[in-house]
Amino acid sequence: MKTKRDRGPSSTSAKSKAGGSGAVGPVRQQRVQALRSKASRTPDEDGELQYLLQAWSGGFCIGGYLMHDRTPAAFEIRYDPTLTSPGPIDPLAVGSTRFWGCPNLINRLIFGLDESLFSTILRSGKWTGSAQDLFDLIRPCCLGQPFDLPIREAIDWVHASIYTAIKTMKFSHMAPVCGGPVEVAVITTDRKFRWVRHKKCDAAIGEGGLFDVDRDSR
């Protein structure tokens, strides 16, 4: 199981817009539904829809085990502007990962392209095949994700995925909407929740130096 911090338009905007924040969600939801209902959209409308879906979507995982069973399990809860009622709670298969916030880089590494690029190609007018044809063409080039890793390798992969995404956004032309010290925790069937890497309380003051985090996590 993997989670990723992001600094998207979540609780910050709700707190900063006292008195008027309640209308933000429904207005954006109505706009998304209006764009999706159109038989054809302009390139600008496609871009707006992709932005709204990514910026106002998210989710989280809950995982662990019961003391009397010790069979690990994880569940995913997601939300996005297309939902008109609470979404389902989906069980995750062993080896599944979920990325929210800034999944662009990881999706491109695992699947060969991200959702926005996939949609852009399909709607460009230059692609004459179906969506499945495009996916079948790209699939052999996908790097995929590792499965059945030993616990230490799994921790390394999770940390590397988050850290790489942070650096990619930092040095790209896009806004660096994720960053800060990476925190990693693990739950195994023989032991309870453990921090693998955990930032100090003064990380924001010291900008989260990795050496400080490492030393205090031991």
pLDDT of the residue at 24: 54
- pTM for the whole structure: 0.64
Estimate to the nearest angstrom the gap between the alpha carbon of 79 and the chain centroid: 12
Domain ranges of the chain: 1-7+25-100, 102-145, 148-218
pLDDT of the residue at 1: 41
| CB burial of residue 116 (10 Å; 0-12, 13-18, 19+) | middle
Per-residue pLDDT tens digits for 198-209: 988 877 776 544
pLDDT above 70 (res 216): no
pLDDT above 60 (res 143): yes
